[in-house]
Amino acid sequence: MDTTAVAAHLGTTPRKLRAFLRSDASTFVAVGSGARYDFTDDDLPTLSRRFADWSGSPAPTPAPAPVRPSVAISGRRSQHDIDAEVWAEEGPVDLPDIRNPAVRAAVRRIAEVQESRLDQMLLAAGLHITQMNVRRPAA
């Protein structure tokens, strides 16, 4: 888990949690560059108790840890599993083959319509860019 998820679990802001993690009251060590922190579900009780002592607020009652279906043995999900989960939420994506001349022509038509609309919007706003419609010959 990252600091945002842990802060939500503790009922605080990520900024305040990072301040605690940099203080002498914390024994958690940053991993990687940029002082990133990586926590496991086993760290939450200790982190919750130490944060409560540091901030002077009562420790929150621990919430049940979210169940993740594709958690590796180390407790971290691989990027492949995360990507697969996102694509499953999005549904099937059908991208036409740009090598097809009909698809290329359709894309060009759409681009010309959008360019024309942009020209009209710029003119309506009082912006006159006369060079936009001048086409250079292909080299």
pLDDT in tens, 28-80: 777 666 667 778 888 888 888 888 888 876 555 555 555 555 444 556 788 88
pLDDT of residue 91: 73
Is 92 within a domain? no
Q: Both 11 and 61 in a single domain?
A: yes
The whole domain housing 118 covers: 101-132
pLDDT of residue 134: 58
Q: Both 11 and 56 in a single domain?
A: yes
Q: Both 7 and 59 in a single domain?
A: yes
Is 94 within a domain? no
Positive or negative CA dihedral for 37, 42, 48, 54? negative
Confidence check: pLDDT of 96 > 60: yes
Q: Is the entire prediction scored with pTM above 0.85?
A: no
What DSSP string runs through 48-106? Answer: HHHHHHHHTSPPPPPPPPPP-TT--TTS---HHHHHHHHHHHH-------TTSHHHHHH
Of the three residues 14, 44, 65, the one that is the final residue of a domain is 65
